[in-house]
Amino acid sequence: MTEKPVYSRILLKISGEALAGNNGFGIDPEMIKKIASEISDVVKTTSVEMAVVVGGGNIFRGIAGSAKGMDRGTADYMGMLATVINALALQDAIEKFDIETRVQSAIEMRQIAEPYIRRRAIRHLEKGRVVIFAAGTGNPFFSTDTTAALRAAEISADAILMAKNVDGIYDSDPAVNEDAQKHDTLSYIDLLNNSLRVMDFTAVSLCMDNKIPLKVFAVKKEGNIKRVLLGENIGTSVS
Ligand code: UDP
């Protein structure tokens, strides 16, 4: 352990989209390997305790199911199951680098994951294990961004690191508007007032109420997770 991170415990949010890489759907083996390698590098070379929340949008989103006529609650449970698939894939990829991990699921499925137990998750973190939180909050009508905010508050994480396909928060969609400007810093109130949809409003208000700083950065650029942990100002910081 040589490098000193600015945080001692963080929560990394990986969207399903990030796991899909350029395919836009499913799990890109190269992408998940790359993310796992960065997580393992951080765990091996710094003292930071790392919890991870994975999304499921690369497989299924409840809102898409309900737009096609499904019952929203049922569709959201499907979305939560999608996050479990991603969590298991990420666990497998991280363990290939000889890092101990635990998956804790908000919906009990004892054959494949531990149930989510807050104090147990904290104990795993203290022992240097990467804890992957699966199945969102366990409740329909929520998102994995809200899960990230909730779990970060529960485990007293120093920050949420949001690994995205874009390299920060822009004033308009950079994929649509080539003049879009990236923000370096923002407040949570700015996110709400300007409807900057980097997270849903429930997640934003949880972060704001619990004073959890958020770092939004590009997952594709190698070494970015560590850069943020070592205090480099990349992407957008929200507090
Ligand atoms: N989901 C849910 N409750 C939660 C978390 C997630 O119902 O607490 C469902 C919801 O349908 C969501 C899906 O799981 O669309 C996948 O999560 P999300 O869309 O947040 O994933 P991401 O956009 O990060 O890939």
Structural domains of the chain in order of their starting residue, each with its CATH number: 9-238 (3.40.1160.10)
Closest CA to 14 of 43, 38, 47: 38
Yes or no: say if 224 and 216 are a contact pair by the CB < 8 Å rule.
Answer: no
- 165 appears as a binding residue in the annotation: yes
* 8-23 tens-digit pLDDT: 999 999 999 999 988 8
Give residue 56 CA to ligand 1 midpoint distance, Å. Answer: 6
DSSP state of 198: T
Cα 124 to ligand 1 centre (Å): 24
Is the pLDDT at 194 greater than 90? The verdict is no
Q: What ipTM was predicted for this assembly?
A: 0.98
Residue 2 clears pLDDT 70, i.e. is over it: no
5 is in an annotated binding site: no
| Closest residue CA from atom 21 of ligand 1 | 55
Please tell me the total number of residues recorded for the chain in this structure: 239
CA pair distance 192, 232, nearest whole angstrom = 26
> CA torsion, points 228, 134, 143, 90, in degrees to nearest 10?
50
Taking only the tens place, the pLDDT of each residue in 112-146 is 999 999 999 999 999 999 999 999 999 999 999 99
Q: Model pTM? A: 0.96
Average pLDDT of the segment spanning 154-182: 92
Is 138 in contact with 116 (CB distance < 8 Å)?
Answer: yes
Task: Give the number of other CB atoms < 10 A from CB of residue 210.
Answer: 14
What is the token pair recorded at 106? 């908000």
| Ligand 1 atom closest to residue 83's alpha carbon, by position in its atom list | 16
Mean pLDDT calculated for residue range 19-35: 93
Percent of the chain with pLDDT over 70: 99
Question: For the chain, what percent of residues have pLDDT higher than 90?
Answer: 87
Mutate to test the pocket of ligand 1, among 61, 133, 150 (most ligand atoms within 8 A of CB): 61
Contacts of 208 (CB under 8 A, 6+ apart): 188, 189
Query: Any alpha helices (H) in 9-141, and if so which ranges?
Result: 16-20, 29-45, 62-67, 72-95, 118-126
- Alpha-helix residue ranges (DSSP H) falling in the chain: 16-20, 29-45, 62-67, 72-95, 118-126, 144-154, 188-193, 201-209, 224-229
Closest CA to 11 of 205, 155, 211: 155
The residue whose CA is least distant from atom 22 of ligand 1 is: 55
Residue 80 makes CB contacts below 8 A (sequence gap 6+) with 56, 106, 107, 135, 136, 138, 140
Confidence of residue 27 (pLDDT cuts 50, 70, 90): very high
Q: Is the pLDDT of residue 1 over 60?
A: no
